[in-house]
């Protein structure tokens, strides 16, 4: 299976870090899933606007 890979999808590190940081808040119970999705959306939107 590995030998058939022809490319790798690279994720933007800022978006990735935003998702990881916010996901940790969900896992530790300080943020609900819906609120986390909204927070990620806001932060990514700001980042993309810059």
Is residue 2 in a domain? no
Do the domain assignments include residue 1?
Answer: no
For residue 2, what pLDDT band results from cuts at 50, 70 and 90? low
Spatial neighbors of 26 by CB under 8 A, at least 6 apart, are: 32, 33, 36
- pLDDT score of 8: 61
- pLDDT at site 43: 95
Q: Is residue 42 part of a domain?
A: yes
Range of the domain at 23: 8-49
Cα separation, 5 vs 48, in Å, equals: 30
User: From the CA atom positions of the chain, what is the Rg in Å?
Assistant: 14
Residue 3 lies in a domain: no
Q: What is the pLDDT, as a whole number, of residue 13?
A: 87
Is residue 28, in this structure, part of any structural domain at all? yes
The label of the residue with tokens 């916010």 reads 22
d(CA 15, CA 13): 5
Report how many domains make up the chain. Answer: 1
In tens, the pLDDT along 3-40 reads 777 766 667 889 989 999 999 999 999 999 999 999 99
């Amino acid at each position: 299976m590995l030998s058939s890979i022809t490319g790798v999808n690279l994720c933007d590190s800022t978006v990735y870090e935003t998702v990881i940081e916010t996901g940790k808040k969900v896992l530790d119970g300080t943020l609900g899933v819906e609120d986390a999705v909204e927070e990620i959306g806001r932060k990514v939107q700001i980042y993309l606007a810059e």
